[in-house]
A and B are shown apart, each in its own frame.
Chain A
Amino acid sequence: MSDQYLNMDLLRFTTAGSVDDGKSTLIGRLLYDSKSIFEDQMEAIEIASSNKGEEKVNLALLTDGLRAEREQGITIDVAYRYFATPKRKFIIADTPGHVQYTRNMVTGASTANLAIILVDARKGIVEQTKRHSFIASLLGIPHIIYCINKMDLVNHEEEVFEKTKKELVDFSSKLTTKDIRFLPISALNGDNVVNRSKNMNWYEGSTLLHTLENIHIASDQNLIDCRFPVQHVIRPQKEEFHDFRGYAGRIAGGVFKKNDEVVLLPSGFQSRIKSIQIFDNELEEAFAPMSVTMTLEDDLDVSRGDMIVRVKNQPEILQDIEMMVCWMGEKPLLSRGKYTIKHTTNEVRCIVKEILYKVDINSLHRDTEDKSINCNDIARIAVRVTKPLFVDKYNINRTTGSLIIIDESTNNTVGSGMII
């Protein structure tokens, strides 16, 4: 056995497409052709397909996990799928195409490095394409791959692909995403998914799987602005570690090194990093997104919710925060309403000061008149929080720039915010 697994990394991606774009077929194809579907799973969906009277094996059944979904032939919730090649492990956040679309896609997109957006070669850009693209861009996904699917239904013609590609290039110039790629595929027949298509010799680019395996994701993390939100304080009640006081947390940005001069927020006290460790292993340096324990040279009062940062590179310390919010609650967002906010390891209360505008996610038009914010709406709002938070803009740091909003009467998560 080789030690190849010690060189594998992890790519998280989300898939978006409207109901008939062949999204489930594409995922089924990726899993099937990369040999990630097992015999007993295949057997189970073969039986289920024939029980439903379907002639072909329905690969979409692989992704329908709940009884109600299989009965109604719909997908209700974000489902996570896993597969690996010798180069990479992949996590797919598979989001349903219709019910609660925005809410689910935002959830799946929040942790993704990459989005696959399916476009039907016969139809070109439709409203859904714009909506998916906007959400991917809003959620700061660094890479988008447009898969122009069903090429078999347009005779594998290069002109059709080029025309759709041009439309997409024009449209996507409005997005903030920098890395955008285009692929002609047929998910049904497996053309350019895992194996190269014999029907599209004019296409000289990589297959989808080859692209997924090789796309450069090492620079997707912010490794410049050092941010360490303290999650938990470790004080072992043991003789041998009598004076040990460790700050446990997951690095949210940057590279921390031993002896770095740091400042503690909110107190403003300065100190130096004495040690960085994972278990009994002492490190010279650590970077995002590692979970570590740090100790400082000075004995200071530090607790959960505090943040350790560099002296010369500090986040904004804000009590009035503006954000784009995706609303996920059943009850509408209340202007002047009070909610709980979770941001990094902090929990505060907030009051909604103003709803600035609502975004029509099909036209990207800003509506300043209709300010009723219901489930699946996206809006720009301003809130005031009970104590200052240490924040960065979401497009600079997806961890220190994001927050969730909780309804205090139901304890449900009702909104997700991206700080502007």
Chain B
Amino acid sequence: MNRYHLTHLKELEAESIFIIREVVAQFENPVLLFSGGKDSIVCHHLARKAFYPANVPFPLMHIDTGHNFEELYKFRDELVKETNARLIIASVQKSIDDGKVKEEKGINSSRNKLQTTTLLDAIEHHQFDCAMGGARRDEEKARAKERFFSHRDDFGQWDPKNQRPELWNLFNGKKSFGEHFRAFPISNWTEMDIWQYILQEKIKIPSLYFSHQRDCFIRNGVVMAKTSFTLTKPEEEITKMQVRFRTIGDATCTGATISNADNLEKIIDEVSSSRITERGGRADDKRSEAAMEDRKKEGYF
């Protein structure tokens, strides 16, 4: 590499840091949505780089479905302690208890969709004017048209046909009272970029991403983990499998991959030879062709 030319990871990093700083400069009360998954972990790492030696000038917010893996809660709490982060937890269980949302019924029920209400309520309660998230444009086709700075109306809704043009590195975060923004600093990263960056920067991630033994069953061709809150049909046989997770979401809708990859190098090899996208294992996207677009319009991440 030429001395005055950046590698793709360094250029992506520079772009994302610029966007995170721009959010802090343009908004009064931003927040970083933190799921404990690799993308939000990378966002948090970039935020620490952006403001060092000062602390990250915004809190993390976890929209907790209550249906996450134990490993994830443990990881989240350790990260908060180690990096001196401020953490806000918004609970989907509380939204259910308050009667704001109704739990889905049936074997494929998931709290994934309910998160939207909890998220919008929390944004309003804490008066956040910009919620940053770790969504990437390569994840899903509706995301490919998302802006870095995404304008939301009073109801938190996204109007994909009426987005502001976004040119050069000039971001327009102007809004009227009551409106807010979503900002996506790692829009231009791919799954592979994330893994390479985690390796390059030696970033800690939850053990769920590495190969381990777990009680699992198979539904619609997807390997699902057996937890205390997943319902299984009688014919669904529970067996010990050697698995890891490519994405980490709500345990009720996140599929595992049969894998022996127990370190980052092996994961990168596995991802580069994989013929299936990471969301291929997400039951929530399989509901319909426009599932993601519909959830995003309502105010999903």
Interface of A toward B, CB cutoff 8 Å: 1, 5-10, 38-41, 44, 48, 62-68, 70, 76-82, 84, 88-89, 91, 103-104, 106-107, 110-111, 217-218, 221, 223, 231-232, 234-238, 240-241, 244, 246, 248-250, 255, 277-280, 287, 289-291, 293, 304, 328, 340, 342-343, 345, 398-399, 402-404, 406, 411-413, 416
Residues of A within 8 A of B161 (CB): 66, 68, 76-77
Q: Is B108 an interface residue, CB under 8 A from the partner? A: no
The answer to whether B142 touches A88, judged by C-beta atoms less than 8 angstroms apart, is no
Q: Which of A44, A106, A279, A402 contacts B289 (CB 8 A)?
A: A44
The answer to whether B21 touches A411, judged by C-beta atoms less than 8 angstroms apart, is no
Q: Which of B51, B174, B265 contacts A406 (CB 8 A)?
A: B174
Residues of A within 8 A of B275 (CB): 38-39
Contact count band on B: 35 or more
Taken residue by residue from 209 to 233, chain B's Cβ proximity to chain A (1 for < 8 Å, 0 otherwise) reads as: 0000000000000000000000000
Q: Which of A241, A289, A406, A413 contacts B53 (CB 8 A)?
A: A241
The answer to whether B4 touches A287, judged by C-beta atoms less than 8 angstroms apart, is yes
The answer to whether B14 touches A291, judged by C-beta atoms less than 8 angstroms apart, is yes
Q: How far is the CB of A71 from chain B (nearest CB, A)?
A: 10
With known contacts A10-B12, A40-B276, A232–B55 Cβ distance under 8 A: no
Taken residue by residue from 5 to 25, chain B's Cβ proximity to chain A (1 for < 8 Å, 0 otherwise) reads as: 111111111110110011011
Shortest 5 CB-CB distances between A and B: which pairs?
A: A236-B54, A65-B141, A411-B174, A218-B5, A291-B17
* Extra contacts besides A7-B1, A235-B54 (14): CB < 8 Å: A5-B7, A5-B9, A38-B277, A39-B275, A44-B289, A48-B289, A80-B145, A89-B8, A232-B21, A241-B53, A248-B50, A293-B52, A406-B172, A412-B172
Q: Which of B95-103, B125-133, B192-200 lies at the interface?
A: B192-200
The answer to whether A223 touches B4, judged by C-beta atoms less than 8 angstroms apart, is yes
Q: How far is the CA of A223 from the CA of B5 in the complex (A)?
A: 10
Q: Could you write out 6 A-B pairs with CB less than 8 Å apart? A: A1-B265, A41-B277, A65-B293, A66-B145, A78-B145, A343-B170
Residues of A within 8 A of B293 (CB): 65-67
Interface of A is mostly: mixed
With known contacts A78-B145, A234-B54, A291-B13, A411–B172 Cβ distance under 8 A: yes
Q: Is B104 an interface residue, CB under 8 A from the partner? A: no
Residues of B within 8 A of A9 (CB): 1, 5-8, 11
Which single residue of chain A is at the shortest CB-CB distance from B52? A279
Q: Which of B18, B144, B163, B172 contacts A291 (CB 8 A)?
A: B18
Taken residue by residue from 47 to 59, chain B's Cβ proximity to chain A (1 for < 8 Å, 0 otherwise) reads as: 0111111110000
Q: Is B80 an interface residue, CB under 8 A from the partner? A: no
The answer to whether B49 touches A278, judged by C-beta atoms less than 8 angstroms apart, is yes
Q: How far is the CA of A341 from the CA of B242 in the complex (A)?
A: 56
Residues of A within 8 A of B142 (CB): 65-66
Q: How far is the CA of A399 from the CA of B160 in the complex (A)?
A: 27
Residues of B within 8 A of A411 (CB): 172, 174-176
The answer to whether A111 touches B168, judged by C-beta atoms less than 8 angstroms apart, is yes
Q: How far is the CB of A227 from chain B (nearest CB, A)?
A: 13
The answer to whether B170 touches A38, judged by C-beta atoms less than 8 angstroms apart, is no
Q: How far is the CA of A80 from the CA of B277 in the complex (A)?
A: 17
The answer to whether A110 touches B137, judged by C-beta atoms less than 8 angstroms apart, is no
The answer to whether B190 touches A82, judged by C-beta atoms less than 8 angstroms apart, is yes
Residues of A within 8 A of B283 (CB): none
Residues of A within 8 A of B164 (CB): 412-413
Interface of B toward A, CB cutoff 8 Å: 1-2, 4-15, 17-18, 21-22, 24-25, 48-55, 137-138, 141-145, 160-161, 163-172, 174-176, 187-188, 190, 192-193, 196, 200, 265-266, 268-269, 274-277, 280, 289-290, 293
Q: How far is the CA of A22 from the CA of B146 in the complex (A)?
A: 24
Q: Which of A88, A241, A328, A406 contacts B8 (CB 8 A)?
A: A88
Residues of A within 8 A of B290 (CB): 66-67
Residues of A within 8 A of B193 (CB): 89
Q: How far is the CA of A236 from the CA of B174 in the complex (A)?
A: 27
Residues of A within 8 A of B49 (CB): 278-279
Q: How far is the CA of A7 from the CA of B266 in the complex (A)?
A: 19
Q: How far is the CA of A68 from the CA of B256 in the complex (A)?
A: 33
Which single residue of chain B is at the shortest CB-CB distance from A79? B144
Q: How far is the CA of A290 from the CA of B15 in the complex (A)?
A: 8
Q: Which of B11, B55, B196 contacts A236 (CB 8 A)?
A: B55
Q: How far is the CA of A231 from the CA of B26 in the complex (A)?
A: 10
The answer to whether A84 touches B190, judged by C-beta atoms less than 8 angstroms apart, is yes
Q: How far is the CA of A159 from the CA of B269 in the complex (A)?
A: 46
Q: How far is the CA of A336 from the CA of B112 in the complex (A)?
A: 51
Q: How far is the CB of A311 from chain B (nearest CB, A)?
A: 21
Which single residue of chain B is at the shortest CB-CB distance from A39? B275
Question: Chain B CB within 10 Å — which of A68, A91, A291 has the most?
Answer: A291
With known contacts A7-B1, A65-B142, A250–B169 Cβ distance under 8 A: yes
With known contacts A5-B9, A77-B145, A248–B14 Cβ distance under 8 A: no
Residues of B within 8 A of A241 (CB): 53-54
Residues of A within 8 A of B168 (CB): 110-111, 398-399, 402, 404, 416
Which single residue of chain A is at the shortest CB-CB distance from B191? A82
With known contacts A248-B21, A291-B21, A406-B172, A77–B163 Cβ distance under 8 A: yes
The answer to whether A106 touches B167, judged by C-beta atoms less than 8 angstroms apart, is yes
Q: How far is the CA of A122 from the CA of B201 in the complex (A)?
A: 51
Residues of A within 8 A of B137 (CB): 80, 82
The answer to whether B167 touches A107, judged by C-beta atoms less than 8 angstroms apart, is yes
The answer to whether B169 touches A399, judged by C-beta atoms less than 8 angstroms apart, is yes
The answer to whether B53 touches A342, judged by C-beta atoms less than 8 angstroms apart, is no
Which single residue of chain A is at the shortest CB-CB distance from B1? A7
Q: How far is the CB of A64 from chain B (nearest CB, A)?
A: 8
Q: How far is the CA of A111 from the CA of B164 in the complex (A)?
A: 16
The answer to whether A231 touches B4, judged by C-beta atoms less than 8 angstroms apart, is no
Residues of B within 8 A of A221 (CB): 4
Q: How far is the CA of A57 from the CA of B161 in the complex (A)?
A: 27
Q: How far is the CB of A113 from chain B (nearest CB, A)?
A: 11
Residues of B within 8 A of A291 (CB): 13-15, 17-18, 21, 50
Q: How far is the CA of A104 from the CA of B166 in the complex (A)?
A: 10
Q: Which of A63, A236, A290 contacts B14 (CB 8 A)?
A: A290
Q: How far is the CA of A290 from the CA of B54 in the complex (A)?
A: 19
